[in-house]
Amino acid sequence: MKEISILPTVRYGYDFIPPEYLPEGKNEYWLRNAQAGRPEVSWRKLKSQEIEVLVKNENYCSNWDHFLVTDPFDPALIRNSNFYGLIRLGMLRDALLLHHDFRIPAGIRNSTIISCDIGNDAAVQDCPYISHYIIGDQVILSRIDELQTTNHAKFGNGALKKGEPEEARVWIDVMNEAGGRSILPFADMIPADAYLWGAYRDDRELMSRLLEMTQREYGGYRGNYGVIGSASVIKSCRIIKDAAIGEGAYIKGANKLKNLTVHSSETEPSQIGEGVEMVNGIVGYGCHIFYGVKAVRFVIGRNCNLKYGARLVHSVLGDNSTVSCCEILNNLIFPFHEQHHNNSFLIAGLIQGMSNMAAGATIGSNHNSRANDGEIRAGRGFWPGLSVALKHSSRFASFVLIAKGNYPYELAISLPFSLVNNNPAKDRLEVLPAYFWQYNPYTLERNSWKAQDRDKRKIKVQHIETDYLSPDTAEEIIAALGFLESWMGEAGIALEDGESADLPDGPDPELPARGMERHDRGTVVLKPRKGRLAYREMLRYYALKTIAAHITAHPALNFQDLREELGPIDPEDRVRDWVNLGGQIVPAFRADALRRDIREGRADRWAAVHRSYDAMAARYPADKLKHAWAVLYLLWGPELPGRPHPCRDAEAFQAALAELLGIQRRLCGRIYQCRAKDFLDPFRGITYRNAEEMRAVAGDPEQNLFIRLSREQLARFESLLGTLLYRLKQPGGGGGLARSNTN
Please, what's the b/e burial string for 197-212 (b: 16 or more CB within 10 A of its CB; e: otherwise)?
bbbbeebeebbebbbe
Give the torsion through C-alpha atoms of 734, 737, 741, 743, to 10 deg: 50
Could you read off the pLDDT of 521-562 as tens digits, one per residue?
999 999 999 999 999 999 999 999 999 999 888 888 888 888
Annotation: CATH topology of 228-416: UDP N-Acetylglucosamine Acyltransferase; domain 1 (2.160.10)
Q: Any bridge partners for residue 257, and if so which? A: 240, 278
Count of residues in the chain: 743
Average confidence (pLDDT) over 238-248 = 98
| pTM, entire model | 0.93
Distances (CA, A) of 661 to 226, 331, 654, 667: 58, 41, 11, 10
Higher pLDDT, 708 or 551: 551
Could you read off the pLDDT of 380-433 as tens digits, one per residue?
999 999 999 999 999 999 999 999 999 999 999 999 999 999 999 999 999 999
pLDDT at res. 268: 98
Could you read off the pLDDT of 271-316 as tens digits, one per residue?
999 999 999 999 999 999 999 999 999 999 999 999 999 999 999 9
pLDDT at res. 367: 65
CA atoms of 65 and 130, how far apart (whole Å): 20
Report residue 240's pLDDT band, with 50, 70 and 90 as the boundaries: very high
- H or E stretch covering 586: strand 584-587
CA atoms of 348 and 328, how far apart (whole Å): 8
pLDDT at res. 734: 46
Answer whether residue 720 shows pLDDT above 80.
Answer: no
CA atoms of 461 and 359, how far apart (whole Å): 32
Report residue 507's pLDDT band, with 50, 70 and 90 as the boundaries: confident
CA atoms of 307 and 291, how far apart (whole Å): 5
Answer whether residue 743 shows pLDDT above 50.
Answer: no
Burial group, residue 35, by CB count within 10 angstroms (0-12, 13-18, 19+): middle
pLDDT at res. 505: 62
Q: Any bridge partners for residue 523, and if so which? A: 429, 513
pLDDT at res. 501: 59
For the chain, the average pLDDT equals: 92
Report residue 500's pLDDT band, with 50, 70 and 90 as the boundaries: low
Q: Any bridge partners for residue 112, and if so which? A: 82
Assess contact for 68 and 91: CB atoms under 8 A.
no
Report residue 641's pLDDT band, with 50, 70 and 90 as the boundaries: confident
CA atoms of 488 and 508, how far apart (whole Å): 11
Radius of gyration of the chain (CA): 31
Average confidence (pLDDT) over 43-64 = 97
Report residue 270's pLDDT band, with 50, 70 and 90 as the boundaries: very high
Residues in contact with 512: Cβ distance below 8 Å, sequence separation at least 6, in sequence order: 487, 490, 491, 522, 523, 524, 525
Pairing of strands 107-109, 78-79: parallel
Q: Among 126, 122, 128, which Cα is nearest to 146's?
A: 128
pLDDT at res. 710: 77
Pairing of strands 578-581, 584-587: antiparallel
